[in-house]
């Protein structure tokens, strides 16, 4: 054997041993006691289809656009996708107002496009989680058209009506209505209909068994097509006391207490489980968790046969324009972890389509710190117990666009609340300032593929402006740079995928009173990982007892690593302790 071949062989042996070691570690992590499920081990990448990639130049993202980017998505290493709604819709609320649950929105393409998207995902080993919007439909859905046509129509009871001759209905708060009034008068039948969201999103009547049957059939239609899961939009609000009692004055300040987890909601979930979920290998996650930890737990306790995963908002709601307290942030995430330590399962996230950008809310999007703080937050999401839900564009460190005039906004919530502010003579300037931090449109600007016009998202005029920083923040440039946020994301995804300890391992908070850094361990069957995250733009010291000289550094978002327990600004390190 000549020298060159010997070296190649040696490299091959070392490579084999390295793989063998990580395989062995996986096996050692793989205790029989683990209730392993694909959806617990999944890393869910959320795609906002309207803003991801436009294939036909109409300025709106579409399914063919997503298909054209499947190899990119696969290259991230993620193994599940949650798509925001893609059903037919007049788009009052970007698809959250469905007019036909068995068809695809025209802007997005056709059912044939959907079928190829789904098979393209499956070929790449990626599961598909579908958004199911059944607390309400569109007012343009045939059910509603029938329902509003006469008081005796068979679809009348698919929605909630209050006859006007009985006087004004007891006040209900609407999240998106210009007047915040959830009852809309409809002269056709001289009655009011209920809409917790916009006027074009009438609430469905879950107390009607026929409606429930319709929804289960819709779910079966998609499950038979091969979708792998459902995310239940606003489902906590679905059950209602249809006698519509008066709520106390000012209830709207805590409307969730009156809207969420009411009546027979758990009964409906159990029925849905029996009729649909239990019959397929699908995962299920509801938006929100009710009002108490017990509500959340009850929804996902496997023995109750309801849903698989809770998706709590308490953590994501902490970010405010004036900042947030890290100690509180740690308390909240630790509390949710412990709630599901013994049973049930959790989703972990710091962003979605209803929020402004992760780095702008929880990190620091100034040029000096954007990259490190994005990576640090990403490390957090991917090293906690629970299934990570990661929002598209965060892997590039996309930032808030901070529109300074109302005309730039597209979101029904932002626009209607502005109108409301104006109607009551409120401070619209302060409103616009606040929205620059918190409007959902910050998270909905086009995905930044390239440094060409409109970030390479469309050849036409985008439905919402692209963030001008696409010239420097874009996928093409980051793909080439081994130290980019994008390439960091890919590495940390692999770290989670290769180490079950990061999925199932026990979480223990360390140095809990440290106001600047977040540190914790994850432990499973002898494997012990230490994660240390600096949430500040200055050096921070973590108070820990481990001897790091013997630990193995698995990941660091700085190329010049820190030593020991002193972290550089927004540094994120993962060690394996010996
Ligand atoms: C929650 C969804 O995430 C949000 O985008 C939507 O506006 C409301 N539900 C109403 O469907």
Minimum-distance ligand 1 atom for the alpha carbon of 197? 10
Pocket test for ligand 1, best of 48, 96, 255 (most atoms within 8 A of CB): 96
Domain assignment of residue 554, yes or no: yes
205-237 pLDDT tens trace: 999 999 999 999 999 999 999 999 999 999 999
Among 184, 179, 181, 180, which Cα is nearest to 159's? 184
Residue where a domain stops, chosen among 160, 194, 228: 194
Domain assignment of residue 382, yes or no: no
24 has a pLDDT exceeding 60: no
437-478 pLDDT tens trace: 999 999 999 999 999 999 999 999 999 999 999 999 999 999
Instruction: Report long-range pairs for 57-60 (Cβ below 8 Å, ≥24 apart).
Output: 57/458, 57/459, 57/460, 58/107, 58/458, 58/460, 59/458, 59/460, 59/461, 59/462, 59/463, 60/107, 60/108, 60/458, 60/463
Token pair for residue 385?
A: 């117990």
Token pair for residue 54?
A: 């436009």
4 has a pLDDT exceeding 60: no
160-199 pLDDT tens trace: 999 999 999 999 999 999 999 999 999 999 999 999 999 9
Domain count, the chain: 2
Boundaries of domain holding 575: 502-578
Query: What CATH number does the domain containing 170 carry?
Result: 3.90.400.10
Query: What CATH number does the domain containing 548 carry?
Result: 2.60.40.1180
Ligand 1 residue neighbourhood (C-beta within 6 Å): 93, 96, 133, 197, 233-234, 287, 353-354
343-395 pLDDT tens trace: 999 999 999 999 999 999 999 999 999 999 999 999 999 999 999 999 999 99
Residue where a domain stops, chosen among 176, 194, 212: 194
Domain assignment of residue 152, yes or no: yes
For residue 32, what pLDDT is reported? 53
Q: What are phi and psi of 162, to 5 degrees?
A: -130, 115
3-class secondary-structure state, position 348: strand
303: which DSSP letter?
G
Q: 484, 492 in Cβ contact below 8 A?
A: no
Domain assignment of residue 533, yes or no: yes
Domain assignment of residue 322, yes or no: no
pTM for the full predicted model: 0.94
Domain assignment of residue 289, yes or no: no
Instruction: For residue 419, give Cα distances in angstroms to 185, 356, 412.
Output: 20, 21, 10
Of the candidates 97, 131, 139, 233, the residue annotated as catalytic is 233
132 has a pLDDT exceeding 90: yes
The residue nearest atom 6 of ligand 1, judged by CA position, is 96
The residue nearest atom 2 of ligand 1, judged by CA position, is 233
For residue 20, what pLDDT is reported? 39
Please give the average per-residue pLDDT across 72-81, as a whole number: 98
Q: 396, 390 in Cβ contact below 8 A?
A: no
Question: Is residue 287 flagged as an active site residue?
Answer: yes
Among 471, 420, 482, 419, which Cα is nearest to 448's? 471
Residues sharing a CB contact under 8 Å with residue 178, sequence separation 6 or more, in sequence order = 416, 419, 420, 423
Question: Is residue 421 flagged as an active site residue?
Answer: no
> What integer best gives the mean pLDDT of the chain?
94
Among 503, 475, 506, which Cα is nearest to 490's? 475
Of the candidates 287, 395, 411, 475, the residue annotated as catalytic is 287
Domain assignment of residue 105, yes or no: no
Please report where in the chains the tokens 């998106």 appear, as a residue.
176
Domain assignment of residue 288, yes or no: no
């Amino acid at each position: 054997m000549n020298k060159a071949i010997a070296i190649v062989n040696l490299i091959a042996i070392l490579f084999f041993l390295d793989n063998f070691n990580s395989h062995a570690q996986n096996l050692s992590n793989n205790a029989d006691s683990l209730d392993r499920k694909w959806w617990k081990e999944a890393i869910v990448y959320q795609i906002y289809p309207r803003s991801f990639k436009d294939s036909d130049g109409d300025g709106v993202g579409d399914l063919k656009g997503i298909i054209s980017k499947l190899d990119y998505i696969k290259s991230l290493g993620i193994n599940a996708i949650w798509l925001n709604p893609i059903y037919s819709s007049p788009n009052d609320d970007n698809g959250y107002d469905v007019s036909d649950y068995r068809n695809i929105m025209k802007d997005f393409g056709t059912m044939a496009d959907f079928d190829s998207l789904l098979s393209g995902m499956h070929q790449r080993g990626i599961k598909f989680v579908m958004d199911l919007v059944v607390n309400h439909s569109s007012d343009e859905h045939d059910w509603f058209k029938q329902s509003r046509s006469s008081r005796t129509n068979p679809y009348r009871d698919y929605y909630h009506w209050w006859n006007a001759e009985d006087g004004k209905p007891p006040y209900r708060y609407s999240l998106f209505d210009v007047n915040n009034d959830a009852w809309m008068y409809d002269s056709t039948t001289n009655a009011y209909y209920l809409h917790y969201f916009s006027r074009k999103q009438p609430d469905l009547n879950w107390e009607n068994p026929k409606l429930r049957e319709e929804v289960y059939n819709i779910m079966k239609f998609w499950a038979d097509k091969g979708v792998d899961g459902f995310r239940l939009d606003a489902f906590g609000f679905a059950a209602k006391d249809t006698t519509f009692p008066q709520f106390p004055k000012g209830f709207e300040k805590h409307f969730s207490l009156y809207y969420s987890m009411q009546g027979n909601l758990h009964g409906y979930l159990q029925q849905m489980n029996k009729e649909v979920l239990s019959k397929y290998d699908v995962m299920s996650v509801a938006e929100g968790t009710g009002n108490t930890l017990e509500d959340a737990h009850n929804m996902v306790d496997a023995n109750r046969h309801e849903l698989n995963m809770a998706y709590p908002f308490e953590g994501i709601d902490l970010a405010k324009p004036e900042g947030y307290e890290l100690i509180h942030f740690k308390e909240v995430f630790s509390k949710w972890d412990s709630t599901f330590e013994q049973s049930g399962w959790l989703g972990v996230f710091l962003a979605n389509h209803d929020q402004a950008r992760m780095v702008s809310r929880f990190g620091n999007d100034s040029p000096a710190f954007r990259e490190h703080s994005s990576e640090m937050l990403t490390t957090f999401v991917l090293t906690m117990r629970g299934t990570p839900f990661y929002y598209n564009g965060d892997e590039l460190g996309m930032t808030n666009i901070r529109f300074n005039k109302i005309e730039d906004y597209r979101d029904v919530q932002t626009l209607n609340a502005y109108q409301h502010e104006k109607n009551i003579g409120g401070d619209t300037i302060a409103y616009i300032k606040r929205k620059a931090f918190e409007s959902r449109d910050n998270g909905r600007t086009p995905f930044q593929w390239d440094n060409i016009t409109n970030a390479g998202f469309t050849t036409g005029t985008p439905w919402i402006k692209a963030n001008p920083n696409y010239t420097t923040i874009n996928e093409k440039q980051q793909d080439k740079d081994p130290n980019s946020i994008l390439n960091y994301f890919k590495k940390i995804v692999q770290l989670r995928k290769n180490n079950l300890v990061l999925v199932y391992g026990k979480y223990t908070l360390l140095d809990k009173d440290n106001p600047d850094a977040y540190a914790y361990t994850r432990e499973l069957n002898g494997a012990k990982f230490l994660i240390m995250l600096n949430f500040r733009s200055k050096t921070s010291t973590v108070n820990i007892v481990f001897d790091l000289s013997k630990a193995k550094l698995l990941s660091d978002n700085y190329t010049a690593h820190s030593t020991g327990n002193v972290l550089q600004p927004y540094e994120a390190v993962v060690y394996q302790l010996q």
